[in-house]
Amino acid sequence: MLSPVVITRPERQSQELISLLQKQGKTCVSFPMFEIAALDNTTDLDQQLARLQAFTMLVFVSPNAVEAFFSRLKELDYVRPQQLSLAVMGQASRLSLKRHGVDFAVTPVFSPQDKQRTDSETLLKELDLASMSGKEVLVIRGDSGRDFFATSLREAGILVTQVASYQRVIPEFDQHKQSQLLTLISSALAWIVTSSEVLPRLLAWSEKLGGIEMVAKMQQQSLFVPHARIAEKAQELGFKSVSLTASGDENLALALQSRYE
């Protein structure tokens, strides 16, 4: 069997990327480090969705936030104001907006222009913060995450509400998961990591599996990441081979093709 490319994102969101890599002739293994689930309690989210007209902009921190927002909006039979500005971090989120019928010719959609760095810092550069002062922005996120973006908006005099639209569920590191990780550390061609939260967990699981020696082996693995913040986190944690790609599955696939063909 060929050395596999390991996909660490939730299994349901891995299929398009796996298909792209398989067309290159690569073997892929789904090794999800977390799964996305609906909220146990949607009261806070529902309250904010009922007052979308009050906001000057909706900010989605990830494709998962986009999916969860539109799913709940449909369940409640609410209508999104068509000309309400939207903002996203990366290409995957833009594609998700399109899948949900957002017409970019009607709805202003802001996202980082630098495809090598698609994060909250670069998104801030695209926004006219002065014109937004005193207005309300809704940040739609998971049940955890950084507060840098919201803090920066508040410092500019913008009223910010953050609301969770989904939750991350961490799988148990059971015998099956342990056996799979041991095999992958020994055989993987490369690892695709699209969330910085995955990195410390990979090292913690490796330590449980085989102590410092296994951690060192994990740190030697080849990582491909689509965001500069993930690359920086990986380097801070001692990973030795970190390839930063442009945002989006096609760019991840192109980077792997360029490296291994």
pLDDT score of 119 more than 80: no
**pLDDT tens by residue, 181-210:** 999 999 999 999 998 999 999 999 999 999
Q: What is the pLDDT of residue 115?
A: 65
Alpha helices in the chain (DSSP H): 15-23, 43-49, 63-76, 91-99, 120-126, 129-132, 148-155, 175-187, 198-219, 228-236, 249-260
| Cβ 168 vs Cβ 142: under 8 Å | yes
Q: Residue 261 pLDDT > 90, yes or no?
A: no
Q: Percentage of residues in the chain with pLDDT exceeding 90?
A: 75
Q: How far apart are CA 93 and CA 111, in angstroms?
A: 9
Residue 92 pLDDT: 82
- Identify the residue whose tokens are 């296994």: 214
> Can you tell me the mean pLDDT for 4-31?
93
Structure tokens at 45: 């989210």
Could you say which architecture CATH assigns to the domain 37-168? 3-Layer(aba) Sandwich (3.40)
- Contact predicate 101/124, CB 8 Å: no
CA-CA distance, 240 to 225, in Å (whole number)?
13
Would you place residue 8 in the very low, low, confident or very high pLDDT band (cuts 50, 70, 90)? Answer: very high
Return the pLDDT at 227. 85
Which whole-number Å values give the CA distances from 206 to 4, 97, 214, 217, 219, in the listed order?
18, 36, 5, 9, 10
In this predicted structure, what is the pLDDT of residue 257? 92
Q: Are 69 and 38 in contact (CB under 8 A)?
A: no
Output the pTM of the full model: 0.81
Collapsing DSSP states into helix, strand and coil, what is residue 88? strand
When pLDDT is cut at 50, 70 and 90, the band that residue 12 belongs to is confident
Residues of the chain with CATH 3.40.50.10090: 5-34+172-260, 37-168
> Strand pairing of 167-169 and 35-37?
antiparallel
The mean pLDDT of the chain is 92
Q: Is the pLDDT of residue 244 over 90?
A: yes
Mean pLDDT along residues 231-241:
96
Instruction: Give the rounded distance of the alpha carbon of 261 from its chain centre.
Output: 27
Residue type, 48: Q
Taking only the tens place, the pLDDT of each residue in 121-134 is 888 888 999 999 99
Average pLDDT over residues 66-89: 93
- Classify domain 5-34+172-260 by CATH number: 3.40.50.10090
Phi, psi angle pair for 103, to nearest 5°: -90, 110
Q: How many CA atoms lie within 13 A of 255 on its CB side?
A: 22
